[in-house]
Structure 1
Amino acid sequence: MAHTELQYLQEMGIDAWQLSHPERLQGFQVARFNLPTTCQLLLVSNELPTGELAVMFERVLKSIKLEIDQAQHVYPEQLSALGEHNIAWVWYAGEDAQMSETLSTKKLTTPLLSSINGHNEHRRALWQQICSYE
């Protein structure tokens, strides 16, 4: 981390740590997880769709001809541990859901699901993204 980044974090009151012996981590591998072969859409978001949001999520899935059991949710920090998959779509929802350039799929980027639900402008933008792949 550069000195200015450390200084900036310090000014914000955030502790920053640097490894004094990074060579000790050589060979460390993050445990990978594989998605079921039936998974076609991966939702990357800090917000797990439940209740009303799950209903909205399922409606969006149906619009792209997918069922709820063909979708999976992961938190943004889990994305780097993604192993084997057959996904056709990745939906990045929220500011914390950084896009992965390694996934060559159809990509959707939106605010959090809670921001889309009930907001026509956000729903329209999502629909336009979906239609761009058809």
Structure 2
Amino acid sequence: MRNEPMAYLSEMGIDQYQLIHPQRLSGYQAVSITLPSDCKLLLVSAVLPQGDQAEFLDRVLKSMQLTLAQVRHIYPHQLPQLEQPVEWVWFAGCASTELPSKVLNTPLLSDIDGNNAERKALWQQICSYS
């Protein structure tokens, strides 16, 4: 689920930047994002879940009969690069778009964990697809 090169740079204390609007560069061709066939849920968030957030995500996934191995994370600006649909798309802390998937809309994971009202709202969204 981690973006390994970015994680390594972060661990080494090296600043990293991503273009928010790469299409504005003359001649730039955005790289398409192809998800592995076992990916069942795409987490779209400006924050990569780590530590407590990853543990919370794992608990939610278990209730959905999914595992962390079946989840991929992308940043919101990468969504237009997505090539194929996925069963679930979870927008956490960012605006959602219309997709041919089961869509969850929530605040950031850190804002849901420990907040009973937000956890209930998430659970109701998940159950609405049953």
Which of the residues 119, 127, 130 maps onto 2:126?
A: 130
Moved over 4 A (4+): none
CA distance in 1, matches of 2:33, 2:55: 26
Alignment of 1:1-134 (within 5 A): 25=26, 29-85=29-85, 87-94=86-93, 97-101=94-98, 103-134=99-130
CA distance in 2, matches of 1:129, 1:100: 16
1:75-111 deviations in Å (ceiling 9; x for gaps): 10111111135x21000000xx22222x200000000
CA distance in 2, matches of 1:118, 1:28: 43
| CA radius of gyration, larger in | 1
CA distance in 1, matches of 2:87, 2:67: 13
The answer for the alignment partner of 1:5 in structure 2 is none
CA distance in 2, matches of 1:37, 1:126: 25
**Unaligned runs of at least 5 residues, structure 1:** 1-21
Share of identical aligned residues, percent?
50
Instruction: Report the aligned-residue RMSD.
Output: 1.7
1:40-99 deviations in Å (ceiling 9; x for gaps): 0000001111111101001111111101100011110111111135x21000000xx222
CA distance in 2, matches of 1:74, 1:99: 13
Q: CA deviation at 1:28?
A: 5.3
TM-score under structure 2 length normalisation: 0.76
3-state SS, counterpart of residue 66 of structure 2: coil
CA distance in 2, matches of 1:78, 1:108: 18
CA distance in 1, matches of 2:81, 2:119: 30
CA distance in 1, matches of 2:84, 2:90: 17
TM-score under structure 1 length normalisation: 0.74
CA distance in 2, matches of 1:79, 1:44: 8
**Unaligned runs of at least 5 residues, structure 2:** 1-23
